[in-house]
Chains A and B, each alone.
Chain A
Amino acid sequence: MATFRVNGVEHTVDVEPDMPLLWVLRDELGMTGTKFGCGIASCGACTVHVNGSAVRTCVLPVSAVEGQDITTIEGLAAAAGTSSTVGTFTPTARLSAVQQAWIDHQVPQCGYCQSGMIMAVSSLLATNPNPSDAEIDASINNVCRCGSYPRVRRAIRSIATA
């Protein structure tokens, strides 16, 4: 058994302690916004926030999040509505500032990696609201096969606050 909160809702699941959180979210809870990409924490498609920090869930045992607060892409907008964490947040916005910047700069193409990309960037900006290019490069190493990187950088720049 494992108990944790996802987007503010408490869940208790009867699964093996070593089942990665990714498969608990996707196959047990039916929350499919968090994506499977590589299974070895290399590509970042499975990134969520655990207590506000970006974590890759495809190798994260569910036992490691016992009692923790998890935010997935499905909960990012709601999270933005209750606590200002990133960028030029407006309390009435349905989407977080990062999500809105992703629309404004037309970042996604196939979009499959973008849940993880948005979660990683949101976490970076929460701790470092005005990252340098080198800090972006060091922190955001998610794989995007469509090559959205120039737009990711542009979108980050547009909401970075000095």
Chain B
Amino acid sequence: MKISRRRFILASTVAGGGLLVGYAATRPSRHRVANEQLAMGDEKFVTNFIKINPDNDITIYVLHSEIGQGIHTALAQMAADELDANWEDVTVEQAPAMDLYAASDMIKGFAEEYGVPNVLMGMVDAIAPSIAGIGNLQTTGGSASVRFTGQHGMRVAGAAAREMLIQCAANQWGVPASECTTELGHVHHNASGRSLSYGELATAAAELEPPAEPVLKDRSQFNIMGKAISRVDIPAKVDGSAQYGLDYHSDDMLYAAIQLAPVFGTKLVSVDASEALQRRGVKRVIELEDSVAVVADNYWRAKEALKLVKAEFESSEHDNVSSADIAARFDRELAESNGDEDHEQGDAEAGLEQADDVIEANYRVPYLAHAAMEPMNCTVHIHDGKADLWTSTQDPLSMKGRVASVAGLSEDDVTHHPSYCGGGFGRRLPFNWNVIDHATKIAMEFDVPVKTVFSREDDLQQDYYRPAVFSNFKGGLDANGNVTAWHNRFTGPIQVPGASHIPYAIENQSIRVVDGETHVPIAAWRSVDHSQQTFFIESFMDELAHRAGRNPYQFRMDLLREHPRHQQVLRTAAEAAGYGDNLPDGHALGLSVQESFGSICAQVAEVSIGDDGQPIVHKVTAAIDCGWAVNPDGVEAQVESGIIFGLTAALYGEISIENGRVAQNNFPDYEMVRMATSPEIEVHIVESGEALGGLGEPATPPISAAVTNAIYILTGQRIRELPISKHDLSRAQSVATV
């Protein structure tokens, strides 16, 4: 596909003018800054994302964090293809945490798509007075890296560098640039048979200004994009050499184990550490405002000694709060408040009054923890008025700024040492500060590196959670099974706009949000509001379909008449899954479709009920329209990953509150899908050729309703509360399908 120039200019001008290329938004040109600050020896940055040395080795800098989504590979493919590089000559490097590598194209992309999503509003408030000022973020999130940074940054940088290299060759040969061609890292002048490598041209090219509007390739010209190229990070992940934040090691370092206030928001009152201080290897016991930490020469020693610390925390008004209290609160809000407008069209009240049949249903989903496999951790070394920082993060630049602010240093005096991330899922975003702040304060007491590590228990109990949401639906049907009204009230807050909106052609809609704030801290969790809202919407759509006596697939297809891309995706998944064909006895198919982060994903789950009264998910057939695939195998991997992440939440996921604190301790009571419970997954990529969509998140939302919709067919039991493990499905009866 060709980039729409209008779209690109719009994206670029949101930031308030300047040059129209993401990598050169300010003067002096970013590649000049990169050459001054980062280039070694004969290396030359041609743009700030692309460095070339005389031997024609090409280094592509990726500003986003590799949290498992394959972003180092996908973004490098995008730049390398436009550059006409030889992929064999390309290495990928994590861009350092410098303003030079702020994620400006992502911010511009979000501004164009949403205004500013609420998950980023905190950053606007805290860092800058307006969207135009959000220059110092390096965030990996919102499934944004490929569709924004890739499309508007990496491709443009690659194309601009290629034009600069051609120009230099043309100058040297005294021929028009239009007579020159490029392939595999060389510029050719076919008429005279001359060639120069990019490495031979880079020094001269680095003196040029990048062109403002380089010409991007048509999809038919791609050599590297669109191919299932092996990921660049995987070799290091099979031999133990990949470094994660937790893996920083030095001989003189210390380790901190920490006990935080169990009830969120309370303070430390007193500490008796006398026993702990007797333990071998223990250096200090550090009291912080909301926590106490033991620092020792080995993490296990610190953690064992922490068990001997007697810490008292202040009592709080939340000490007796339980999940039942929160549920009662949410129910009351939904009963008493009409809430704030999210989306209104037509007249839903009138639509309900005119209906022959009104269905009302209450849905609820619990808080969830992120539970990334690498427990939260942060190593800080403060010395000589400077700080070094090692932490797996979805935003190195923000973390560096935070450490500087807590330690009272200038940002320029903090160095973040990049690493792979053992999962992110939103937990490692800015504003989820707890481990960063604690590690910095503890390290300020020492002159050696101190690694602060959350245990798995800390990780589950001191998270910033996926919000619990309750939702009340009313739907109206006329005598012919047409939907006369869609009426939805749900507890907030809204973290990302539009998740509760529906693609279905229903004239009368009233969607409003009521207050859902509690003392439990919340944050973005893979797919943000879509994980809750898609379960609600796609379940209630199924309820309407069955009540109307309609086939759930055809019912959706009819109401998706204004959204042919949704129809195509749902059709693809249903046909591939054999929807409507005979199934093994005791099996049923449930389906679900949702658009999020620019991609549309449909899923069909094949389910049966086991002897234990719990569902067995045999197979999930998914279709996704993400515009087109930069790396088809990467697309499939993210869809598989999103489904399993969502399935864990659907089957088992629940963080509950007792006595103001989280009741769950570790994996046994926060269970995960594992090999034995993981379904077979089949992924179909629907290439519409539309604008690129995201991939890290869009496959997570649909799975829960796909499974519960199948359970309804098998058992007649409508699951309106997750997780499914709370329900005994063994005694119910199957329902006839239409």
Binding site for B on A (CB under 8 A): 15-16, 19-20, 22-23, 26-28, 30, 32-40, 42-43, 45, 72-74, 76-77, 95, 99, 102-103, 106-115, 118, 136-138, 140-153
Contacts and interface: CB of A to CB of B under 8 A. Distances in A.
Interface in B667-691: 667-668, 672-676, 678, 680-681
B539 to A, nearest CB: 23
A39 B373 CA distance: 12
Closest 8 CB pairs of A and B: A33-B240, A147-B644, A112-B422, A110-B68, A111-B237, A73-B240, A109-B68, A137-B676
B141 to A, nearest CB: 15
A113 B420 CA distance: 13
B667 A108 contact: no
B672 A143 contact: yes
Nearest to A77: B239
A42 B664 CA distance: 14
Nearest to A74: B240
A95 B238 CA distance: 9
B713 to A, nearest CB: 25
A95 B422 contact: no
B250 to A, nearest CB: 8
Contacts of B550: none
B734 interface: no
A111 B371 contact: no
B637 interface: yes
A22 to B, nearest CB: 8
Given A77-B239, A145-B645, A43 B667 contact: yes
Contacts of A76: 239-240
A99 B678 contact: no
B641 A106 contact: no
B423 A110 contact: yes
A103 B421 CA distance: 19
A47 B664 CA distance: 24
Interface of B: 67-70, 230-231, 233-244, 246-247, 249, 251, 255, 280, 297-301, 371-375, 420-425, 453, 455-457, 633, 637, 640-645, 666-668, 672-676, 678, 680-681
Contacts of A141: 674-676
Contact of B234 (A23, A106, A149): A106
Nearest to B229: A106
B228 to A, nearest CB: 8
Contacts of A28: 298
B244 A106 contact: no
A109 B67 CA distance: 8
A151 B633 CA distance: 11
B424 to A, nearest CB: 8
A129 B231 CA distance: 28
Nearest to B639: A147
Nearest to B68: A110
B449 to A, nearest CB: 12
A143 B643 CA distance: 15
A150 B640 contact: yes
A147 B668 contact: no
Contacts of B680: 150
B91 to A, nearest CB: 17
A100 to B, nearest CB: 8
B238 A102 contact: yes
Given A42-B667, A110-B422, A149 B675 contact: yes
A63 to B, nearest CB: 14
A114 B239 contact: no
Contact of B456 (A20, A37, A99): A37
B602 to A, nearest CB: 18
7 contacts: A35-B373, A35-B374, A36-B246, A42-B667, A112-B423, A147-B640, A147-B641
A36 B375 contact: yes
A108 B240 CA distance: 12
A35 B68 CA distance: 16
A38 B667 contact: yes
A23 B373 contact: no
Contact of B673 (A38, A138, A149): A149
A30 B300 CA distance: 14
A151 B680 CA distance: 10
A31 B77 CA distance: 33
Nearest to A152: B675
Given A23-B300, A36-B246, A109-B68, A146 B240 contact: no
A151 to B, nearest CB: 7
B312 to A, nearest CB: 25
Contacts of B241: 33, 74
B280 to A, nearest CB: 7
Contacts of B672: 143, 145
Nearest to B672: A143
Nearest to B683: A150
A102 B420 CA distance: 18
B232 to A, nearest CB: 11
Nearest to B679: A150
Contact of A153 (B249, B299, B673, B675): B675
Contacts of B675: 136-137, 140-142, 149, 152-153
Contact of B668 (A36, A42, A138): A42
